[in-house]
Structure formats: structure tokens, C-alpha cells
Chain A
Amino acid sequence: MANASGYFRTSLGEDLVLLDTRTQKYSCAIFCALLLFAPFVAKPLFIDIANQVFLTAIGALALMLVTGFAGQISLGHAGLLAAGAFTAGILFKEFAAPIWVTLPASACIGAVLGLIFGLPSLRLRGLYLAVSTLGLHFIVVYVGGEYETRRGFSTGIALDPPSIGGWSLSDGRAWYFVLLAFAAGATLFSINLLRSKTGRAWRALRSNETVAEALGVHVAGHKLLAFVISSTMTSMAGCLFAYYRSFVSVEAFSLFLSIQYVAMVIIGGLGSILGALLGTVFVVLLPYIVEWVTAILPLTASISGLIFAINHTVFGVVMVLFLLFEPRGLVGIWQRLQNYFLLWPFRQTPLPGSR
């Protein structure tokens, strides 16, 4: 009974259940069926968009873990993606390594980088931490760029589609199911991690470090753990990204990508797994929506060359609007809607003084 007044779970078994009402179970089943069925009827463009959403969702979930739950700000997410992608690219080019080598290798590199990204968090907080991750982003991207120029791949590294057991993964629909599995795995992993001791420790850390420490939370260890888990996930997403695009280049991992990931977390709503997913869908879809709107509007052809600039502008405006008017993000809107229907015909009025 998720939304009734009171807490009715009495045994461990009941407490471990993820979906407890019949409505939740049915809606989840319908949603999963739709996701599994969709690629057989959708156009290739929509499958591509869905694949991008799944890929991005892994990174967004990872950032949500470290920023939304553990309260450590990271502006270097694109650097971690780049690390994963370049690990895959370099191993493929130098040793012709198959995906079952490159993916774990990316994860390992991600874990090591997470440790490095996390080290400043032991001494720094807030703004200064954000800045240090920003610096690390530039260094990781520089190392990737240096590899490209040294080895003569100045335009980028091309990868073959991965093959597992003689079955090559090149079709968009095949990718759909693989990426869906990864995204679903990342979501379940995040949800369950947050219900565990670690997740509770992170939340305690975010609320108040001193109190958390007094309650017996190992502050340094849990901070580092947050960074390591987050960057391992991100790095694996980067590796998959490299294979999906079958191309790696430093240009893809600009500061703007980091900003986009932060925007997903903010627009979705900090401190919510659902928020990370909603934010991902929103930010990935935004350029397509902008393109669609500009195609409909009676504008001259000259505007099509500026689509990139329009995207930037709209993205900035949307981010500002969310920060100013809906700091709780899409999840805040969703919860308000939910409450409206649950309480109907009564109205929920926010407590005076809260916002």
C-alpha cells in the first residue's frame, strides 16, 4: 500500500517487494510488454532514439547515484564516458580485443578513475569539488586526444560491430534489446543499491556529513564508493557508446556533454531514480523536438544550418526555467499530478512557507 496513510509492511519478505499493489504490477507489466514489443513496429529512427535513451540512461543513473544521493557534485561525467569509449577503442585497435574483454576493461578503468575523481572529495566540498572534477575531465579528454594524434587516428577510431559467439551485433533492433537489458540492469541495480546499507549511508552523507559520521557511517569510504560505482557504470556506458556508434573521437566528449548529464539529473529531479530516467528521455528527445518544430514552422532554408545553435539556446533556456520554477524537476511535476488524482476531489495545498 504505497500511498495509503501508514506503513503496513510487517515482514522482511514484504519489505523486499518492489511492486506491491496490483495497479503497480499491471502497469509495470504493460510498460515492459510495450518496451519489448515496440521495436517490431517502430521506424528505424525511433529505434535509434530509444537506443540513445537507454545508453544515456546508464550514465544518468550513475550521475544520479553520486550527485543526487551521495551529494557529491561531478562535472566530469563526459571524461568518464570518454575513458570507457577510449579503452574500448584502444584495446580494439591495438590488440583486436573482443567485446567481452573491452567491456570489463572499461569497467576497471572506470573504477580506477572513479577512485581518482573521488579523492578530491575527501578534502573538498561543493563548488571546489565540482571544479576539481571539471579539471579531471579536461585531463582525461587530453589523454584520449593525445593517443589519437600520436597513433595517427586524428579523425577518430573506428570500431567493428561487436560479435559474441559468431553473432554480430550490427542491426539497430538487436542493439535495442542489448541496450534495453543494460539500462534495465542499471536501473534495478541502482534501486536495490539505494535500498541497501550503502544507499542509506549515502543519503545520510548528503544530509549531514558530521551526523552521518557520528552514526557510524564510514564517510571517506562511502564517498569513494559512490564515485567508484558511478564511474564504473559510466565507463561501461562509454564502452557501449563506442560500439554502438562504431566510432570514437574526442570531439564527442566535450564539456557540453557533461553539462547535458548534469541537466538530465536536474531536469529529472535530484534524488530520484525515476527522475534520472525522465530527465534522460527529456534531454535526449529535446533536439529531435526542436528539429521537428523548426521543420513545421514556416522558416527559410537558412535556418537549418543553425539547428545546432537553436538546440543550445533552447537547452539553456529549458535548464534555466527548471532551475528557477521547478527545482524538484520532472519528478516534482509527476508527483503533483499523482497527488492530484489520488486526492481528488480534494485539493492538496502546500504547507505555508514550504516551496
Chain B
Amino acid sequence: MQLAVNIVVLAAIYALISCGYVLIYRVSRVLNLAHGELMLVGAYLLYSTASLLGGSPVTAVAMAAVLGLLVGVLVYVLLMRRMTGEMVLAAVLCTIALGVMLRGATVLIWSAQVRHPMEALGWSNPSLVLIGDARISLISAILIGATAVVYAALFGFLGFTRWGIRMRAAGQNPLLASQRGIQLHGVYALAWGLSTFTAGLAGMLISLDSGLDGTMTMIGLKAFPAALVGGLDSLAGALIGSAIIAIAEVLLIQFVNPLLSDVVPFFVLLVVLVIRPWGLFGSKEELDRV
């Protein structure tokens, strides 16, 4: 029972992170390898706002989330905007460089010590007992809820709202979309903003649960296989991919070797790349295949 709960929590974490990869990839065909670092920035933003506004935790969280959105838009406007139309590889390398830079900058600004935004917010994290003696921390439960809300919102947004439809159009065919009067830069910036927003949200919730330092970026990187297993341009795929990775990881850690934790996602990734490179739900034709 505990195992099942662990799997669900881990799957929710991966799902919340990997939707950011999917959003950016789907809209602009860029793989954002700085996603883990953006997560870290989001978490540190929460730490800062929590220290500033110790009295009102809800305002602090809301403010940090909005700041996360702004950071994403800024990243696009200042950096990635110049990479549109360049080789995809150059754009990906640019995100890698951004990641290295952000990791250094976060240590410079917030120091390398382990931080605990939980204390700064003045909240506590009791563990809830579920049926069958399984335990789950309150924050983990919130995280599962947040993932559900974010995914529902994203499905609704992409399916029914004007900007969501524009986003899908831009992803399908940028040239046609811009001919129809869709502001590509606006759409891309929005995608980056949303992606960083969800990453920041994930970063905040994880940091509330287990403290905050640079190792968090590894979680961000491990969520990438989840996005790819499901298919890099499919939101539903990201959910299923996260579940698959989480199941594989939790079971292998439990029954084989705890050290495997950092390797399992990449192992699954390699298997999928060999068998079905476009992922479970990804669209096949657009993959650069030999």
C-alpha cells in the first residue's frame, strides 16, 4: 500500500514537471534542458517571498507563482527569442548554457546552504494516514491535487480557449499560423511563461516537502524521460510516461538497489528510444528519423 502511494506521489511530481517540457516542445520544437534549473529558481523565489512576507503565506505562494511566470517570459524575451529560426541544436545548447548560468546564479544569490521554505512560511507538514497504514505527507497530497488541477487546466486551455488554440496552431505549422495573424512571439513567450510557472510550482512543492538546494535540478532532469516516453508533444502522454517512470523507479529502488534511483528513468528512456523513438503518444511523422 505504501508502495502504491509512493508511486502515485512520484508520478505526480514527474507529471507536474514534465508538462513544462511538453508545452515548450509542442509549441516551439525546442527541448528545454534548463527546466530543472527553472524549477530551482521557482523554489528559491518562494523562499524569498516567504522570508519577506512571513505573515501571509498564501500571498507569498501566489506572488512566487506569478514571479515564476514572469521569469519564463523574460527567459524567452531576452534569450530564446533570438534563437527562433536558428538550428534547433543551437537553441537546445542555449538552454543548457542558461541552466549552467542559473545554477551558478542561484548559489550566488541564495548561497549553497539547504533552505527550508516550510519554516519561513510557518506551515507544518503533518503526515496523513490513509487506508492500509499508508502514510502521505500533507504537501505530497497537495502536490497530487495540484498536478490534477494543472493538467485539467492545461487540457481546457489548449482545447477550448483562444490562446490555447493559437498555441497548438503555432506548434503545428508556424508559417501558416503567422500568416493567419497569430503573434508567434507572443505565443512562444506564453508557452515559456506557463512552462516555467508549472516548473516553479513543482519546485516550490518539492522544496516545501524536502528542503531546497541545488540537487533539485536532478529531479527536473529525471522528469524529462517521462515526457519523452509519453511522446514529447503529448500532454496525456506525459501523464502516462510519468506513471511508467515512477512505477519502474519505485519498484527497482525497493527490490533491487536504492542507488539505481538516478539511472532508472534514463534506462527506460533508452529502451523507448530504441523501440519507439517518438514515444507512446507522440506524433510519428515529425520525428527526425533516418
User: Measured between alpha carbons, how far is A314 from B111 in the docked complex, in Å?
Assistant: 16
Whether B290 contacts A122 by the Cβ 8 Å rule is yes
A interface, over-half SS: helix
> A127 interface residue, CB < 8 Å from B?
yes
Report B-chain residues with C-beta under 8 Å of the C-beta of A139: 263, 266-267, 270
Interface residues on A, range: 35 or more
| A275 shortest CB reach to chain B, Å | 15
> B62 interface residue, CB < 8 Å from A?
no
Binary contact track B255-290/A, C-beta < 8 Å → 1, others 0 = 001011011001101100110010000000001111
Binary contact track B91-133/A, C-beta < 8 Å → 1, others 0 = 0111011111111110110011000000000000000000000
Nearest-CB residue, chain B, relative to A132 = B273
Q: A126-B288, A309-B112, A313-B105 are in contact. Are A145 and B97 (CB under 8 A)?
A: no
> Which of B100, B105, B263, B290 is in CB contact (< 8 Å) with A142?
B263
Q: A131-B228, A145-B259, A312-B103 are in contact. Are A259 and B96 (CB under 8 A)?
A: yes
| B77 shortest CB reach to chain A, Å | 14
Q: A73-B89, A130-B92, A139-B267 are in contact. Are A324 and B104 (CB under 8 A)?
A: no
Whether B269 contacts A131 by the Cβ 8 Å rule is yes
Whether B104 contacts A313 by the Cβ 8 Å rule is yes
A289-313 residues with Cβ-Cβ distance < 8 A to B are: 306, 308-313
Q: A135-B225, A319-B93 are in contact. Are A149 and B259 (CB under 8 A)?
A: yes
Whether A120 contacts B107 by the Cβ 8 Å rule is no
Nearest-CB residue, chain A, relative to B268 = A135
User: Measured between alpha carbons, how far is A120 from B88 in the docked complex, in Å?
Assistant: 19
A212-228 residues with Cβ-Cβ distance < 8 A to B are: 219
> Which of A123, A130, A131 is in CB contact (< 8 Å) with B274?
A123
Q: A145-B259, A320-B94 are in contact. Are A313 and B267 (CB under 8 A)?
A: no
Report B-chain residues with C-beta under 8 Å of the C-beta of A146: 257, 259
Q: A123-B277, A124-B277, A316-B99 are in contact. Are A323 and B93 (CB under 8 A)?
A: yes
| A126 shortest CB reach to chain B, Å | 5
- Among B90, B101, B274, B287, the one with the most A-chain Cβ atoms within 10 Å of its Cβ is B101
Report B-chain residues with C-beta under 8 Å of the C-beta of A124: 273, 277, 288-290
> B149 interface residue, CB < 8 Å from A?
no
> A115 interface residue, CB < 8 Å from B?
no
User: Measured between alpha carbons, how far is A309 from B102 in the docked complex, in Å?
Assistant: 10
Whether A266 contacts B93 by the Cβ 8 Å rule is yes
> B82 interface residue, CB < 8 Å from A?
yes
> A209 interface residue, CB < 8 Å from B?
yes
Interface of B toward A, CB cutoff 8 Å: 31, 79, 82-83, 86, 88-90, 92-94, 96-105, 107-108, 111-112, 221, 224-225, 228, 257, 259-260, 262-263, 266-267, 269-270, 273-274, 277, 287-290
Beyond A120-B274, A315-B104, 20 additional contacts (C-beta under 8 Å) are: A120-B273, A123-B274, A126-B88, A128-B273, A128-B288, A131-B31, A135-B269, A135-B273, A136-B270, A142-B262, A146-B257, A255-B221, A259-B100, A262-B93, A263-B97, A308-B104, A308-B107, A309-B105, A311-B104, A323-B94
